[in-house]
């Protein structure tokens, strides 16, 4: 597998990986806002978001019908659709593409659910490697506490309840995520993950995140020819100033 740079694409792809509750989604969102404020051509894509299969995935989860193999195939279909219709065209057009989860999520989760490793990797054999993959490594207890903030209970598949690891969803989550963490750690050297200490506070992580991205990618090459226009002010408000303030803070 080669990176997009090695395949001579004009754009670059940055992926973030980590356990549920690792904070990776927050970090890549903040990075996106910063890149936009810097005038960089940037596009964001997240795992399990293709309109093609979203409804099927949602129904399967709600009715708890998804087997490990079905789960794997649905996510591979979702990824392939986004890869062909969104990621590749924008990378050819010279964008910085940010992915909240990439193929490594499947490599970790599907194998943990019992799918053969070679089979899972074969499903994603069409995909190039990210130019940089950040692995937000966090302690299990930290992840669990973050997941539980603001909601009373864990979701069925999120907790790994389909694997019958424990009748207690919190213990099941701990075991399931622990096994996924082992898979990520095993892939770290193979895929040259940049490991981030996700136990650190948000601000400190973001400063380092931006620094590493700037060091590894010449962002000046991805500047827009003209800045994105700010939305017009809403009558009776000072919305334009609010947006400008958001961008300055990002």
Q: Packing angle between helix 103-112 and helix 169-187, nearest 10 degrees?
A: 130
Pairing of strands 12-18, 96-100: parallel
pLDDT tens digits, one per residue of 139-181: 988 988 888 886 677 888 888 998 999 999 889 999 999 999 9
Are 43 and 35 within 8 A, CB to CB?
Answer: no
DSSP class of residue 223 equals: B
Place of tokens 């040259």: 192
3-state SS, residue 82: helix
CA distance 69 to 57: 13
CA distance 43 to 62: 30
pTM attached to this predicted model: 0.85
Q: Domains in the chain, please, with CATH? A: 12-221 (3.40.50.300)
Torsion of CA 109, 110, 115, 120, to 10 degrees: -120
Angstrom distances, CA of residue 139 to CA of 32, 71, 123, 174:
25, 26, 30, 10
Task: Output the pLDDT for position 178.
Answer: 94
Are 28 and 46 within 8 A, CB to CB?
Answer: no
CA distance 214 to 77: 32
pLDDT tens digits, one per residue of 195-249: 999 999 999 999 999 999 999 999 999 999 866 555 554 444 443 343 333 334 4
């Amino acid at each position: 597998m080669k990176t997009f740079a090695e395949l001579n694409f004009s754009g670059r792809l940055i992926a973030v990986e980590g356990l549920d509750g690792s904070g990776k989604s927050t970090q890549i969102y903040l990075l996106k806002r910063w890149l936009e404020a810097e005038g960089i051509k940037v596009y964001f894509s997240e795992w399990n978001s293709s309109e093609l299969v979203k409804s099927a995935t949602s129904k399967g989860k709600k009715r708890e019908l998804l087997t490990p193999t079905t789960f794997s195939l649905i996510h591979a279909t979702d990824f392939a659709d986004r890869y062909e219709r969104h990621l590749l065209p924008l990378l050819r057009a010279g964008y910085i593409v940010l992915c909240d989860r990439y193929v490594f999520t499947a490599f970790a989760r599907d194998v943990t659910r019992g799918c053969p490793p070679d089979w899972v990797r074969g499903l994603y054999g069409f995909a190039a490697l990210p130019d940089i993959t950040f692995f937000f490594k966090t302690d299990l207890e930290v992840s669990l506490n973050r997941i539980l903030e603001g909601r009373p209970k864990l979701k069925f598949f999120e907790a790994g309840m389909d694997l019958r690891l424990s009748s207690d969803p919190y213990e099941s989550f701990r075991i399931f995520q622990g096994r996924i963490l082992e898979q990520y750690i095993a892939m770290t050297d193979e895929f040259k993950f940049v490991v981030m200490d996700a136990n650190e506070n948000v601000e400190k992580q973001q400063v380092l995140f931006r620094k590493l991205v700037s060091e590894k990618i010449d962002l000046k090459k991805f500047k827009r020819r003209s800045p994105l226009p700010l939305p017009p002010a809403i009558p009776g408000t000072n919305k334009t100033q609010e947006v400008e303030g958001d961008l300055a803070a990002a």
